[in-house]
Structure 1
């Protein structure tokens, strides 16, 4: 039995014990031996330094998303009502939102910052990141900022039909661009997007810079009702994913069920050891017992 099958079976057992109404487990793994503080090399805010880094974070431009096109690609859309995909992502987002705003947030630094990643390319991390953002933004009292941090192979803008525009890289490398200049509002209330921006040979250094750390810190505290979702590079394809994981409070590891090698999953999990909360989404799973289902949800321990 593969490691993914074992995790799925464990998730199903937990689901039965809690009389869940869906076919997916809604539990999350949290390091219980000790809560690790996420402490990259970031200068602390103080006085005037903090004021210099403040941004309004209100988008200056609005882009129109083609919801019919997204729906044909299997994404959650505002007009969907109780479809299977919606129910699945309701279940997936539940522990994340609880950790961000509920009792589960206690002891989790930057709990409203969520990184979505995978072990290798092609497992569905961007699909998961976008659907998660859309599902949370559908809630009336939640705002979501979706940041395409997969700067080497950006997919968020292309998937959403957003034309090329300055993004995260331009903000990080420039002293003349404010963060508000790279935020795009959408025709979905509560959802804003930051594109990856241009290709840059020093993108890894920019993502590990103090400026990125300061941005993450401010994003986590600026608005109490906002969730920030980063679509990250795969952990085994680039070092950028591991760098970004140290800046957030929660990580979602997307695993292609029945396909990703156990050794790859374990190597990816090891890279997430410093993270407070790690959840797994089993994508393209055929063992859920639901016709046409492509998603599963489970828990993972280091």
Structure 2
């Protein structure tokens, strides 16, 4: 027993002499670095707006409430999103051959329908600068800062936009604008749109454009989008007008298809006219 005690004492002495008995500091897990959700913060900072149910109904925004009336818009939404994902497209322009075809109504219906898909963030940007209507249609008129000022680089998107349902941001205008085709074709607008997309990273950006045959605005902007949807009106828009639009747009971008609006002779199986 004495020999064992002596051996232990000797071992302790040797350990103390070499410093082996000093406990090393405890290693702690490195602190987690939290990556800030800058995009989420940008969305959260946008001014919040709410849909006025009565106003939406008066302006025929039927996609506001899911039901039989919204079914055709939801079907169009799904087809559009499928085609855009398949082609890796993110920018969709909506135009028409002439005025009074309902393009702004359909653009807004599409955007509102997308709000019900919570994992999708959408932008609806008004580029029909000669005859703006979106702010009036959704009850956010007058705007504190027109979206045109954002396009000119004089204001930020957050100063102009209104956010609905947390995943739809609308950039609209209260005032008419001149020199629109020059503005839309400018390099400055290209940079502004790139900045907005970098800050908010939308899954889809919808551009409400002027009528194709009314001015050169659509042609001035066409190269900046991935695809275009043409809105035609039954018993008003001619086949020749649609053909002209398709041929002119196809030289600069992709023509996704044509929506036939206000058609009274569709069967039950087809809630809207759409073809590629």
Global fold match (TM > 0.5): yes
- Is 1:63–2:41 an aligned residue pair? no
**Structure 2 counterpart SS, 1:272:** helix
Inter-partner Cα distance in structure 2 for 1:129 and 1:246 = 19
Q: What's 1:35 paired with? A: none
Alignment root-mean-square deviation, CA: 2.4
- Is 1:76–2:62 an aligned residue pair? yes
The unaligned stretches of length 5 or more in structure 2 are 1-40
Q: What's 1:257 paired with? A: 234
The answer to whether the Cα contact below 8 Å between 2:150 and 2:192 also exists between their aligned partners in 1 is no
Inter-partner Cα distance in structure 2 for 1:290 and 1:283 = 15
Inter-partner Cα distance in structure 1 for 2:52 and 2:231 = 26
The unaligned stretches of length 5 or more in structure 1 are 1-54
Aligned pairs for 1:169-208 (under 5 A) are 169-175=148-154, 177-186=155-164, 188-208=165-185
By how many angstroms is 1:276 displaced? 2.3
- Is 1:228–2:205 an aligned residue pair? yes
Which of the numbers 126, 142, 146 marks the counterpart of 1:148? Answer: 126
The answer to whether the Cα contact below 8 Å between 1:112 and 1:220 also exists between their aligned partners in 2 is no
Corresponding residue pairs, total: 234
**Structure 1 counterpart SS, 2:135:** helix
Q: What's 2:106 paired with? A: 128
User: How far does the alpha carbon of each residue in 1:163-221 deviate from its partner, in whole angstroms, 9 at most, with x for none?
Assistant: 1222221122344x2222211123x2312210135333222211111111123334555
Q: What's 2:275 paired with? A: 299
Aligned pairs for 1:149-164 (under 5 A) are 149-164=127-142
By how many angstroms is 1:222 displaced? 5.0
Inter-partner Cα distance in structure 2 for 1:215 and 1:235 = 23
- Is 1:209–2:186 an aligned residue pair? yes
The answer to whether the Cα contact below 8 Å between 1:254 and 1:283 also exists between their aligned partners in 2 is yes
Change (3 A) 1:197 1:210: farther
User: How far does the alpha carbon of each residue in 1:20-69 deviate from its partner, in whole angstroms, 9 at most, with x for none?
Assistant: xxxxxxxxxxxxxxxxxxxxxxxxxxxxxxxxxxx956653223321232
The answer to whether the Cα contact below 8 Å between 1:151 and 1:197 also exists between their aligned partners in 2 is no
The answer to whether the Cα contact below 8 Å between 1:146 and 1:231 also exists between their aligned partners in 2 is yes
Change (3 A) 1:178 1:69: closer
The answer to whether the Cα contact below 8 Å between 2:157 and 2:171 also exists between their aligned partners in 1 is no
Inter-partner Cα distance in structure 2 for 1:198 and 1:157 = 10
Q: What's 1:138 paired with? A: 116
**Structure 2 counterpart SS, 1:246:** helix
Inter-partner Cα distance in structure 2 for 1:61 and 1:217 = 21
TM-score, normalised relative to structure 2: 0.76
Which of the numbers 127, 146, 159 marks the counterpart of 1:167? Answer: 146
Change (3 A) 1:252 1:167: same
Inter-partner Cα distance in structure 1 for 2:173 and 2:126 = 5
Higher helix share: 2
**Structure 1 counterpart SS, 2:224:** coil
Change (3 A) 1:251 1:160: same
